[in-house]
Copies of this chain bind each other. A is one copy, B any other.
């Protein structure tokens, strides 16, 4: 006779087997190591930074010049504390990969985090100027745009650029992990994936933007306009022809000033340069350089009469 074990009594065994795999499979459990930056805290930091950069849009109705300084001062104060903590975690994680119990080491990392955080906050006023040029580019570049407020309020392309420029500053300060967490948060919200390492000039505008990918070693000039689905990517995977790792090498293209890239254009390769004032058409695929002032487009597609006798929506597609 077989004894049937009630389902709930088998759960401890389920737990045990799962816990066993934590030891078996390296690198997929985050235990007893240094605490990594906390995702939710990083998200709240981004939201507060956006309130500092563009006050009065999303969060509070009643801001006036008279109460603004208290509002911003308070935000800057709490941002300093939270960002310092997260940066310290990222620095320790990046340097050691695990927790340090040495109080002197811990103190040094915290001092470094404080200095980097202050440096970052001091750059926000310049960043505001830079972002106002991006907002202007969006307003000028989209005929369906009614006002600058509309850009700041609801353009996903602008939101992705705000987060990218914040993340890029942190990336330049060599803070690990947090910049990528920030741009992946923006990717999640907007469908636009800009690596924090990319270098992007002034007056940058991404219209619609879903599916845009801008790789780590891209260099983009001024007044560049990018439509949804555009890829500025790499040509090859992890190694070059001699088997050397490509981590760190220039793998992504250069796009010069005043280039427009239309929907789903893919420009690939670290040696590829799109010359200034060029226009890259929809669905084009480019792996070598393009001279300035060039228009690039697909050949015209093939046309055929449709012969199938489809009766309604349930048409068949028999090419």
A26 to chain B, nearest CB (A): 8
For A279, the closest partner residue in chain B by CB is: B317
The residue that A238 contacts in the complex, of B14, B18, B141, B264, with Cβ under 8 A, is B141
- Given contacts A263-B213, A301-B284, whether A208 and B237 have CB atoms under 8 Å apart is no
- The 0/1 profile, CB within 8 Å of B marked 1, for residues 13-53 of chain A is 01111111110110111111001101100000000000010
A189 to chain B, nearest CB (A): 6
List 5 contacting pairs A-B, 8 Å CB cutoff, sorted by A: A39-B58, A141-B314, A142-B238, A203-B313, A298-B298
A173 within 8 A of B: no
Asked if A237 and B141 sit within 8 Å, CB to CB, the answer is yes
Asked if B290 and A76 sit within 8 Å, CB to CB, the answer is no
A159 to chain B, nearest CB (A): 9
Q: Which of A61, A140, A263 has the most CB of B within 10 A?
A: A263
For A188, the closest partner residue in chain B by CB is: B189
Give the complex CA separation of A20 and B129 in angstroms: 11
Asked if B216 and A144 sit within 8 Å, CB to CB, the answer is yes
Asked if A310 and B277 sit within 8 Å, CB to CB, the answer is yes
Asked if B283 and A266 sit within 8 Å, CB to CB, the answer is yes
The residue that A239 contacts in the complex, of B154, B263, B299, B314, with Cβ under 8 A, is B314
Across the interface, which residues of B come within 8 angstroms of A29, CB to CB?
54-56
Across the interface, which residues of B come within 8 angstroms of A284, CB to CB?
283, 285, 301
A233 within 8 A of B: yes
Asked if B32 and A315 sit within 8 Å, CB to CB, the answer is no
Asked if B245 and A268 sit within 8 Å, CB to CB, the answer is no
Asked if B80 and A115 sit within 8 Å, CB to CB, the answer is no
- The 0/1 profile, CB within 8 Å of B marked 1, for residues 279-314 of chain A is 101111111001001111111011111100010111
- Given contacts A80-B8, A195-B144, A237-B316, whether A31 and B14 have CB atoms under 8 Å apart is no
The residue that A31 contacts in the complex, of B68, B121, B142, with Cβ under 8 A, is B68
The residue that A264 contacts in the complex, of B57, B62, B231, B234, with Cβ under 8 A, is B231
- Given contacts A239-B316, A306-B277, whether A61 and B73 have CB atoms under 8 Å apart is no
Asked if A282 and B268 sit within 8 Å, CB to CB, the answer is yes
Q: Which of A22, A58, A114, A141 has the most CB of B within 10 A?
A: A22
A103 within 8 A of B: no
A210 within 8 A of B: yes
The residue that A286 contacts in the complex, of B10, B266, B301, with Cβ under 8 A, is B301
- Given contacts A197-B144, A229-B229, A266-B263, whether A296 and B301 have CB atoms under 8 Å apart is yes
Across the interface, which residues of B come within 8 angstroms of A303, CB to CB?
290, 294-296
- Given contacts A128-B18, A176-B146, whether A137 and B191 have CB atoms under 8 Å apart is no
A86-137 CB contacts (< 8 Å) to partner B: 93, 97, 114-115, 117-118, 121-122, 124-125, 128-129, 131-132, 135, 137
